[in-house]
Amino acid sequence: MKILARLLTYGVSEVLNRLAPIITSFILAKKLGAESFGELSLIVVGVEILFIFISNNIQAVSRIEFFKRNTEEYIEFSKNAFCFSFFVFFFSLLLIGILSLIEADASLLLLPCIALFRSMAQFYLSTLQCSKESWSYFKVQITFILVFFVSFSLTLNYGIYSWILSMLIAVISQAIIGMVLVRKKTGICIFPLAFHRKLNWSQVKFGYSFMPQALGWWMKSGLDRYIISFSYGLSILGKYSLSYQFASSIMILVSALNLTIVPEINSLIKQKKNLANDKVNKIYFASFTLIVVSSLAIYFLSTIIIEYYFQDYDKAISYLPFPLISLMIQASSLIMMNELYFRDHGWFVARLVFLNFLLQGVLSFLLSKSFGIEAVLINSILFNLVLFTFVLVKVNNSRAI
């Protein structure tokens, strides 16, 4: 019952948290049109790549370090992590500043700020998750949702800038509430500005061991969008982005599942018993079944909404099956990767994801020169199948050791 209660709490918070940007993007899609919506899609991708470098995968590393360190060591880890994040933030701010001068768009300077505060918020959320403080986790997520919606409503007339301003205000609020609740519920006082003057480079390198994987995931979605924009135009990108937004709803479920099952899977694997593997397999089977059923529901609901509300996005329905199938396979891989992380195969996962989606990006670019967008989208599905196969084989092999 405790697992079910946590799943429900995490599920509701993740659904609401993910839906906030999705719903507002739908509003902007209707208001801006396909071409401007394609431009917003590129901005979102830009924030994602900045988050990858500034966060140094703090949300993934903290979930591992929390169980391997005592409280004092975990605080030292956090200080070092924040120190590095601020260093990369100032460097990226300099680079984006040059770009903003070239593009004559000062709003671009806000993108690294979004990435920095999002990194802080994700760290506090990971700490609350590992502490099994699901209700506090929920409060932090709700803070983001409420602030984002209020800010978006007040700035709606600013178009694309409305999304940028709302996201910045929301992640700042989320980080502050997260810091307060971590201290209150866990007794761990972690202040982002209380960092070390001297970096622990071994810890930085550990964070960067996840970097190829993070870049790989970014190439999976981000690089495809740049390729589509370059080869087929912003209007086609806008229509594809709308279908992708609907399909990405399945990742809300995966986030909720991961938040719930990761502590359970890690506890079972720690027992090092065959019976534990059987229980983990049952968790996988239940998760895969839920992913497939949810994907079908998303498809039927999305087609109805697009047909009746987004008439200007005529090709979005025909694009929808491609990202949905691709993400369904990707979601299944993500569920199993948790076991590989715990068994210290993180570097294998990182290299696999990076190389797999680097090859996908190269091939997608080549295909875009001679074929329609459908070839690029089918290519995405095939490479997700390759990823799933390698992950499944590695999980089986790691158990045999």
pLDDT of residue 107 exceeding 80, the answer is: no
Render 188-236 in DSSP notation, one character per residue: ----TT---SS--HHHHHHHHTTHHHHHHHHIIIIIHHHHHHHHH-HHH
DSSP letters, 284-304, are: HHHHHHHHHHHHHHHHHHHHH
Residues 6 or more apart whose CB falls under 8 angstroms from that of 285 comprise none
At residue 6, the pLDDT reads 63
With 70 as the cut, is the pLDDT of residue 367 above it?
A: yes
pLDDT of residue 267: 74
Q: How many CB atoms lie within 10 A of CB 346?
A: 20
Q: Are the beta carbons of 352 and 360 closer than 8 angstroms?
A: no
Of the listed ranges 55-69, 336-350, 365-379, 384-398, the one predicted with least confidence? 55-69
Residues in the chain: 401
Pick the more confident residue, 227 or 399. Answer: 227
For tokens 């135009």, the residue is 233
CA pair distance 35, 355, nearest whole angstrom: 31
Q: What is the pLDDT of residue 385?
A: 94
Q: Is the confidence at residue 168, as pLDDT, over 90? A: yes
246-264: per-residue pLDDT in tens?
A: 888 888 778 777 777 776 7
pLDDT at 383: 93
User: Contact at 8 Å (CB) between 260 and 334?
Assistant: no
Amino acid at the residue 38: G
44 pLDDT more than 60: yes
- pLDDT for the residue numbered 177: 92
> Which of residues 337 and 32 earns the better pLDDT score?
337
Distance of CA 128 to the CA centre of its chain: 18
Q: How many CB atoms neighbour CB 297 within 10 A?
A: 12
Distance of alpha carbon 370 from alpha carbon 254, whole angstroms: 35
**What is the number of other CB atoms lying within 10 angstroms of the CB of residue 370?**
7
Instruction: Give the mean model confidence (pLDDT) for residues 216-231.
Output: 79
**What is the average pLDDT across 44-53?**
84
Banded model confidence at residue 199, pLDDT cuts 50, 70, 90: low
pLDDT band at 114 (very low <50, low <70, confident <90, very high): very high
Mind listing the pLDDT tens digit for each residue in 127-152?
887 777 778 888 888 898 889 889 98
Tell me what pLDDT residue 195 has. 52
Assess contact for 54 and 119: CB atoms under 8 A: yes
Summary mean pLDDT of the chain: 80
Confidence of residue 209 (pLDDT cuts 50, 70, 90): low
| pLDDT tens digits along 287-334 | 888 899 999 999 998 898 888 888 777 788 888 999 999 999 998 898
| DSSP labels, 6-64 | HHHHHHHHHHHHHHHHHHHHHHHHHHH-HHHHHHHHHHHHHHHHHHHHHHTTHHHHHHH
Predicted confidence band of residue 173 (pLDDT cuts 50, 70, 90): very high
Average pLDDT for 327-347: 84
